[in-house]
Amino acid sequence: PVVLGIESSCDETGVGIVSGGRLLAHAVASSMDEHARFGGVVPEIAARAHLHAFNPVVREALDRAGLRMRDVDAVAVTTGPGLSGALQVGLAGAKTLAYAAGVPLYGVHHLAGHVAADTLEHGPLPDPCMVLIVSGGHTSLLLVRDLVRDPILHLGDTVDDAAGECFDKVARVLGLPYPGGPAIDRAARAGNPCAVAFPRPLTGPRDDPYAFSFSGLKTAAARWAERHRQSGEEIPVADGAASLQEAVADVLTRKALAACRAYEVRTLVVVGGVAANSRVRALAEERCAAARVELRVPPLTLCTDNGAMIAAVGDLLVRAGARPAQLDLSIDPSAPLDRARLHPSPKPA
């Protein structure tokens, strides 16, 4: 079956087409530039941008795959978590497409999508695997068995900011452009990762081994920048960016590998926008190799939000015989991670 997936939870309108675990094509439009001058995503602007982008992006994905709507066997759509206005636009579009084409519709948890993104490049996930989700809104460690059949064991989360949020906020402090994550990654190339001794939060012997905290790091970076500013010096932005990136990558990979060790899991999957970070990727590779843990990270374009990852979950659901949604399917802007557990019920006779 050919599954068309739609993502609209934040500022990316993404459409992907997947069949039998293989990515046929995908297209993404982003309203990122429209939010830049506000320093963050403005929900109303994002929702309106999805409305404008929806049809062109669907057409582009179909064109790239050399398919038409009549070749599509199922539609999958993100129902949450995300911005409600943005999710509404994607869901309304997905319902319209599914109804018009007379094909089943599946609701997909955005974070299950981030995890499934990796399967499009590296094939089915081994059971079990340790998943580190690091994105703009989440920093979580999950023990995943079968993504669409089994409950997810949720080991830990951030107690305050997500890792991506930390990058975005520190970038502002350093005067780097929006979005901050990629800007810090670029600036860090010319910097010394040991220049500033930023803290490694929650890594003490008595701390929760699977909990994260990044708001203190943000404050530390702001204080460091302020000290330079007050003494009239120019802020060594490259060193600050490299040192911050090092601290984040160190904490993320240290905890992820501790979880692999504790649960005797041989595969670590790192997904979400921050998995695009060059230092996170490099340090994860180094530490996984040393621990003899297999590392899987999706290709850069599938780390940040896209429709291919939603189509990937849809494809798994279809092949697992999951029951499709009805047309009264609704959004769930704060969908808890445990609902990434998507039990397929047998098809009605």
Rounded distance, CA 156 to CA 182, Å?
A: 25
- For residue 185, state whether it binds Mg ion (rule: CB under 5 A): no
Q: Which does 179 bind (CB under 5 to 8 A by kind): Mg ion, Fe ion, ligand ATP, none?
A: ligand ATP
Nearest-approach distance from CB 67 to ligand ATP, in angstroms: 26
In the range 250-309, which residues lie near ligand ATP by CB under 6 A? Answer: 272-274, 276-277, 304-305
Q: Is 264 exposed, middle or buried (0-12, 13-18, 19+ CB in 10 A)?
A: exposed
Residue from the set 2, 10, 105, 325 that interacts with Mg ion by CB under 5 A: 10
Residue whose entry in the numeric block shows the structure tokens 């993504």: 147
Nearest CA to 313 out of 57, 130, 61, 77 is that of 77
In the range 98-157, which residues lie near ligand ATP by CB under 6 A? Answer: 110, 114, 135-138
- For residue 135, state whether it binds Fe ion (rule: CB under 5 A): yes
Amino acid code (one letter) for 36: A
H or E, element range at 316: helix 308-319
Stretch that binds Fe ion, among 30-38, 56-64, 84-92, 131-139 (CB under 5 A): 131-139
Rounded distance, CA 49 to CA 83, Å?
A: 13
Is the CB of residue 179 less than 8 Å from the CB of residue 135? no
Nearest-approach distance from CB 11 to ligand ATP, in angstroms: 7
In this structure, the number of other CB atoms found within 10 A of the CB of residue 68 comes to 11
Nearest-approach distance from CB 310 to ligand ATP, in angstroms: 12
CB-facing half-sphere around the CA of 304: CA atoms within 13 A = 18
Residue from the set 185, 239, 315, 332 that interacts with ligand ATP by CB under 6 A: 185
Annotated binding site for substrate: 133-137, 168, 181, 185, 277
Using only the alpha carbons of the chain, give its radius of gyration. Answer: 20
Rounded distance, CA 51 to CA 15, Å?
A: 13
Amino acid code (one letter) for 162: A
In the range 299-338, which residues lie near Fe ion by CB under 5 A? Answer: 305
- For residue 29, state whether it binds Mg ion (rule: CB under 5 A): no
Nearest-approach distance from CB 119 to Fe ion, in angstroms: 16
Annotated binding site for Fe cation: 110, 114, 305
**DSSP helix/strand/coil, 331:** coil
Nearest-approach distance from CB 303 to Fe ion, in angstroms: 9
Q: Give contact residues for Mg ion (rule: CB under 5 A).
A: 10-12, 305
Q: Give contact residues for ligand ATP (rule: CB under 6 A).
A: 9-10, 81-82, 110, 114, 135-138, 164, 167-168, 179-182, 185, 272-274, 276-277, 304-305
Q: Give contact residues for Fe ion (rule: CB under 5 A).
A: 135, 305
